Structure 1
Amino acid sequence: MSSKPSTPEWVARLQSTPKRSKNNSNIVDPPGYTPNTTKKGPKDKQPARKLPTTEETDTLKIKKAWEVAIAPAKQLPMSAIGMYMTGNTLQIFSIMMVFMLFKTPITSVIAIQNTFSRFETEGTRDKILLAKIAFILCNMLSLALGIWKVNAMGLLPTTTSDWLMWEPMRTSLEKAVPLLS
């Protein structure tokens, strides 16, 4: 006769709920713990939160739009420190930092409608226009930092020696000719 294999004792203990032993009953609950002994019925439910009005929602959207608009200006000090730390020599790190200083503001200004679309409603359209202008100005400050860095690296043609190729040849008024004697 074959009998069913019995399950091991540890499997049976794992599948059953643990019994509370008498020696665990003297352990106090941690501070802040409140046991949930009462079950909440339909009467005990908390009242639903009231929905915000459209004016409150528009005010919140305008505040968030201004946070997004000023975010590029908040990055300027860190970018300036990075530019200072890279030095004025032509290295791959400084070139990549300058490249990012130019790329990020340009792509941000191009995608301005997509950036502010989540904040636009009929009531906020006029007020968000000022935030968009501030966003563009903050990105222009970042571009100005990039131009300053390119100038500090000596890559901007600002001296007359940088434009010698386009200077006309000077014609001499006098020529020194050696005397043949």
Structure 2
Amino acid sequence: MPALNYASLEHNSKWRSLPPAPGFLKSARRHHFFISSAKGLDKAPTKAISDKQNKLKEKRAWDLAVAPAKSLPMQALMLYMSGGGVQVFSMSLIFMLLLQPFRNAIGMNAAFAPFVASPPPANPAFALIPQKFVYILCNLLTLAVGLWKCQSLGLLPTGTGDWLAFETRGQPPEIALL
């Protein structure tokens, strides 16, 4: 079995003629030069970089806010394809569709935490209010689609016949003595 000689790679002219990879610094002296020059230039563009990062974070927060609405057409198609009968498959789809908005509402602050602006506000829970409002509206829309499917399957007690157990009978108006 032939043995590999890694020392031969150091002297091979084919490998030595390759340019260094982007961002690769060959010596510590050059590294020190770039670090010291970056420290001097660091103060001016910080605000511009911070503004760009905050705008990007805000855009990503909007993407997260409308994410439940983006998945709604697929969920509606799956509910349509599950049929009109009360079966295990349709019930599991409805259960997941009704549970997801509540999970999203509970974990909303944790979901939006990475998108808070660089100088954090005094109370980060109140940051990104418009995005959180749209997020809640999209989740309510998802909940409405799930409740509509429950209504179409007859699982919601919306008719008068569903509440007969709670009605009391009155005295009959006529009395038969015989």
TM-score clears 0.5: yes
More helix by share: 2
Q: Is the 8 A contact 2:79 2:90 kept in 1?
A: yes
Mapped partners of 1:175, 1:81: distance in 2:
58
TM-fit CA distance, 1:38: 3.1
Moved more, 164-173 or 56-65: 164-173
TM-fit CA distance, 1:90: 1.1
1:141 and 2:119 aligned: no
- Give secondary structure in 2 for the equivalent of 1:53: helix
1:55 and 2:51 aligned: yes
1:78 and 2:78 aligned: no
TM-fit CA distance, 1:176: 5.5
Q: CA RMSD for the aligned pairs?
A: 3.1
Matches within 5 A, 1:3-42: 11-12=1-2, 15=4, 38-40=17-19
Q: Which residue of 1 aligns with 2:153?
A: 153
C-alpha deviations, 1:46-65, integer Å up to 9, x for none? x99x9861000000000000
Which of the residues 110, 113, 119 maps onto 1:117? 113
Q: Is the 8 A contact 2:116 2:127 kept in 1?
A: no
Instruction: Note closer, same or farther for the CA distance 1:37–1:139 as it changes in structure 2 (3 Å cut).
Output: same
Mapped partners of 1:64, 1:104: distance in 2:
21
TM-fit CA distance, 1:170: 3.4
Mapped partners of 2:4, 2:57: distance in 1:
52
Q: Which residue of 2 aligns with 1:22?
A: none
Q: Is the 8 A contact 2:94 2:150 kept in 1?
A: yes
Mapped partners of 1:102, 1:92: distance in 2:
15
| Identity in percent | 35
Matches within 5 A, 1:160-175: 160-175=160-175
Q: Is the 8 A contact 2:66 2:135 kept in 1?
A: yes
C-alpha deviations, 1:86-118, integer Å up to 9, x for none? 112111111110110111110111100000000
Matches within 5 A, 1:59-70: 59-70=55-66
- Give secondary structure in 1 for the equivalent of 2:54: helix
Structure 2 stretches of 5 or more lacking a match?
A: 7-13, 36-44
Mapped partners of 1:82, 1:53: distance in 2:
44
Mapped partners of 1:173, 1:166: distance in 2:
21
Structure 1 stretches of 5 or more lacking a match?
A: 1-10, 18-34
TM-fit CA distance, 1:167: 1.2
Q: Is the 8 A contact 1:58 1:123 kept in 2?
A: no
